Chain A
Amino acid sequence: MTAVPDIEFRAVTKRYGAVTAVSGIDLAIPPAAFVALLGPSGCGKTTCLRMIGGFEQPSEGQVLIRGRDMAGTPPYRRPVNMVFQQYALFPHLDVEENISYGLRQARPRLSPREISLKAGEALAMVQLAGYGRRKIHELSGGQQQRVALARALVNKPAVLLLDEPLAALDKKLRTDMQIELQNLQREIGITFVLVTHDQEEALSMSDFVCVMNGGRVVQIGQPSEIYDEPADLFVADFVGKTNLLSGKVAGLSGDLVDVALADGTVISARKRVPLSRGEAVSVSLRPESLSLSAPGGGGLKGIVRNRIFLGSTAEYAIEVQGIGSLLTKADHVTGRGNLFEPGEPVAIGFAAGAPLAFPHPKNNGTNQREDQHVKILS
Chain B
Amino acid sequence: MSQGTNSGQVLTAGGQRSAGAEAAFSMRGRFLRKNLLTALLLAPATLWLVVFLVLPFVAIAVFSVGERAPEGGYQAAFTFAQYANLPARATAFWNTMMLAPVGALACLLVGYPVAYYLALRAPQRWRLILLALIVIPFWTSLLMRTYAWMYILGGRGIPALLAYIGIEDLRLINTPGAVLLGIVYGYLPLMILPIYVSLERLDRRLLEASADLGATPLSTFLGVTLRLSLPGVMTGFSLVMILLLGEYLIPTLLGGGKVFFIGNALVDLFLQSRNWPFGSAIAITLVLVSVVVLIIANRISTRLSGARRVDLI
Contact = CB atoms under 8 A, between A and B. Distances in A.
Interface stretch (A90-98, A275-283, A368-376): A90-98
B212 A90 contact: no
B306 interface: yes
Interface residues of A, number: 28
Contacts of A76: 211-216
Given A75-B208, A82-B209, A86-B205, A92 B215 contact: no
A1 interface: no
Chain B contact residues: over half helix, strand or loop, or mixed?
helix
Contacts of A81: 212-213
Contacts of B264: none
A295 interface: no
Interface in A70-128: 74-77, 80-82, 84-86, 88-93, 101-102, 105-106
Q: Which of B211, B213, B307 has the most CB of A within 10 A?
A: B213
B219 interface: yes
B306 A105 contact: no
Contact of B206 (A53, A54, A55, A90): A90
Contact of B213 (A85, A137, A155): A155
A20 to B, nearest CB: 22
A81 B208 CA distance: 11
24 contacts: A53-B208, A54-B212, A55-B208, A55-B211, A74-B211, A75-B208, A76-B213, A80-B212, A82-B209, A82-B212, A84-B212, A86-B205, A88-B206, A88-B209, A90-B224, A91-B228, A92-B227, A92-B305, A93-B306, A101-B210, A105-B213, A105-B214, A105-B219, A151-B213
Given A92-B307, A105-B219, A84 B213 contact: no
Interface residues of B, number: 22
B203 interface: yes
A14 B306 CA distance: 38
A65 to B, nearest CB: 13
Given A84-B205, A86-B205, A91 B212 contact: no
A106 B213 CA distance: 9
A135 interface: yes
Contacts of B214: 76-77, 102, 105-106, 155
Contact of A75 (B212, B304, B305, B307): B212
Nearest to B203: A88
Nearest to B209: A88
Contacts of B215: 76, 101, 105
A76 B304 CA distance: 25
A52 B216 CA distance: 18
A57 B248 CA distance: 54
A203 to B, nearest CB: 27
B139 to A, nearest CB: 37
Contacts of B306: 91-93, 135
Nearest to B228: A92
Interface in A201-233: none
A91 B219 CA distance: 17
Interface string B128-163: 000000000000000000000000000000000000
